[in-house]
Amino acid sequence: MIYFDNSATTQSAPDVVATYDKVSHQIWGNPSSLHQFGEQAFNLLEQSRKQIADLLGASQSEILFTSGGTEGDNWVVKGTAIEKRAFGNHLITTAVEHPAIHNSMEQLKQLGYEVTYLPVDEHGRISIDDLKAAIRPTTILVSVMAVNNEIGTIQPLTEVADVLKDYPKIHFHIDAVQGIGKGIQDMIMNDRVDYVTFSGHKFHAPRGIGFIYARRGRKIAPLLTGGGQERNLRSGTENLPAIAAMAKALRLLLDNEPAKVDMQRQIKERIYNHVKDFPLVTTFSEDNDGFAPHILCFAIRGVRGETIVHAFEEHQIYISTTSACSSKKHLASSTLTAMRIPEDVSTSAIRISLDEHNTLAEADEFNTVFDQLYKQFEKLSSTTADEPAKA
Ligand SMILES: Cc1ncc(COP(=O)(O)O)c(C=O)c1O
């Protein structure tokens, strides 16, 4: 079995599951309780928070636990909008964000906020000139993802940070759900960013747990109000087993990160170099530093993405159409649409997404199976090899 769908979710690491189990069995008190079981749970909660903060170069009070990436994104966008309503009603984001950002923005539009979606070039990347031109006196938030979940583009976060240094009142948010552990932590945890979203299940922690980094001194309104956990900012009894497991998963992820990133890049390169010259293939992810090491997206023109996914599944190779969210809805990829890729090509796209456990031998096996399947794809394809174009 070859699992190449790590951007959808990762398998929980055995050590991480062991931590989850141990905490569930042994440290089951409520961190808010005054007695010793509460104190024990509170201590572990804060220890986990400190461990995560240390790994990211943040302080303990700047880490706030959530239920995952979707909550983190919703919170920063809507929490900023509520908190800063008196200062402005304009938000800037990109045309290629995850729906957790996009749909939060759309909801705000219905409430009278104004949103600018920065367009992207043929690589799915925004332009800094467009960003500069979009900023208004009423702008309260700029939200830019670190790594695109569909094709792996890394956005120019350092340049965005530089621009925003001249606008200290604007909140700068990065959705780093696909970016953590991929060798770009300096770009993400830059000296200007105010909020960063992380999701545990993308790095071998359990599903349903995540956190945001929130720069000290910045304020967003809570979306979940109630018992006042997380410094009154995110109510709800803390999911301590998952939090402790996530802290462990993050430590394991970042241990020896450069070697892991390098291996993922080699695997991606091996597949990329193999498939790119087949006549029906159009590649979208480039094989360079402007793209994450673990995501490779390409189309086999004339064959539906779902057909390709199931054909590989018969060989126990698990890949996806461009994102887990869009695949069951049979939607064209929103990133490829924003890149102005025609729908008949974008619906033929598939995504391979790696993690640190994949191997070059798996890449070779993928390539062998690809060669076998390509003959079927040629028959299925309604296009010809001469027809349009490499994107
Ligand atoms: C870039 C990005 N942001 C946010 C999310 C949502 O994260 P979660 O699944 O933890 O809600 C995802 C999930 O795929 C993602 O890829």
Both 311 and 356 in one domain: the answer is: yes
Our CA angle for 247, 251, 257, nearest 5°, is 145
Q: What is the pLDDT of residue 331?
A: 67
Q: Looking at the predicted structure, is the pLDDT value of residue 388 above 60? A: no
Both 217 and 261 in one domain: the answer is: no
Q: What is the pLDDT of residue 333?
A: 84
How is the chain split among helix, strand and coil, in percent rounded to 5? 45, 15, 40
Both 309 and 170 in one domain: the answer is: no
Residues for the chain: how many in total? 391
Give CA–CA dist 246/254, Å, rounded: 12
Both 244 and 332 in one domain: the answer is: no
Beta strands 114-118 and 139-145 are: unpaired
pTM, full prediction = 0.96
Both 73 and 198 in one domain: the answer is: yes
Catalytic residue, chosen from 82, 134, 223, 325, is: 325
Q: Is residue 388 part of a domain?
A: no
Both 348 and 318 in one domain: the answer is: yes
Both 132 and 279 in one domain: the answer is: no
Indicate the residue type of 258. Answer: P
Q: What is the pLDDT of residues 287-305, one digit of tens each?
A: 888 999 999 999 999 999 9
Residues with Cβ within 8 Å of residue 351, at least 6 apart in sequence: 5, 7, 150, 151, 295, 296, 297, 319, 320, 321, 322, 323
Both 297 and 355 in one domain: the answer is: yes
Q: Looking at the predicted structure, is the pLDDT value of residue 206 above 90? A: yes
Read off the CATH number of the domain in which 308 is found. 3.90.1150.10
Q: What is the pLDDT of residues 346-378, one digit of tens each?
A: 999 999 999 999 999 999 999 999 999 999 999
Q: Give the pair of three-digit tokens for residue 264.
A: 């993922």
Q: Is residue 203 part of a domain?
A: yes
| Domain end residue (candidates: 211, 231, 254) | 254
Distance 26 CA to ligand 1 centre (A): 31
Q: What is the pLDDT of residues 70-126, one digit of tens each?
A: 999 999 999 999 999 999 999 999 999 999 999 999 999 999 999 999 999 999 999
Q: Which structural domain, as residue segments, surrounds residue 313?
A: 2-7+257-376
Residue nearest to atom 16 of ligand 1 (CA): 149
Both 225 and 299 in one domain: the answer is: no
Q: Is residue 180 part of a domain?
A: yes
342 CB-contact burial (10 Å; exposed 0-12 / middle 13-18 / buried 19+): middle
| Domain end residue (candidates: 215, 231, 254) | 254
Q: Domain count for the chain, please give it.
A: 2
Residue nearest to atom 8 of ligand 1 (CA): 69
Mean pLDDT, the chain, rounded, equals 95
Give CA–CA dist 94/75, Å, rounded: 17
| Domain end residue (candidates: 229, 254, 279) | 254
Q: Which long-range contacts (CB under 8 A, 24 or more apart) does 322-328 make?
A: 322/150, 322/151, 322/297, 322/346, 322/349, 322/350, 322/351, 323/7, 323/8, 323/98, 323/149, 323/150, 323/351, 324/5, 324/7, 324/8, 324/9, 325/98, 325/99
Residue 297 falls in the annotated catalytic set: no
- Ligand 1 atom closest to Cα of 100? 4
DSSP string for residues in 23-63: HHHH--S-TT-SSHHHHHHHHHHHHHHHHHHHHHT--GGGE
Assign 3-class secondary structure to 316-366. CEECECCCHHHHCCCCCCHHHHHCCCCHHHHCCEEEEECCCCCCHHHHHHH
Q: What is the pLDDT of residue 386?
A: 46
Distance 72 CA to ligand 1 centre (A): 9
Read off the CATH number of the domain in which 116 is found. 3.40.640.10
Cα(first)–Cα(last) distance of the chain, in Å? 31
Q: What is the pLDDT of residues 29-52, one digit of tens each?
A: 999 999 999 999 999 999 999 999
Residues contacting ligand 1 via CB (< 6 Å) = 68-70, 73, 98, 100, 145, 149, 175, 177-178, 199, 201, 210
Residue nearest to atom 7 of ligand 1 (CA): 69
Q: Is residue 160 part of a domain?
A: yes
Both 248 and 277 in one domain: the answer is: no
Half-sphere exposure of 133 (CA within 13 A, CB side): 8
- Ligand 1 atom closest to Cα of 200? 10
Q: Is residue 341 part of a domain?
A: yes
Q: Is residue 231 part of a domain?
A: yes
If DSSP codes are grouped into helix, strand and coil, which group holds residue 154? strand
Q: What is the pLDDT of residue 389?
A: 45
Beta carbons of 73 and 197 less than 8 angstroms apart:
yes
Both 165 and 264 in one domain: the answer is: no
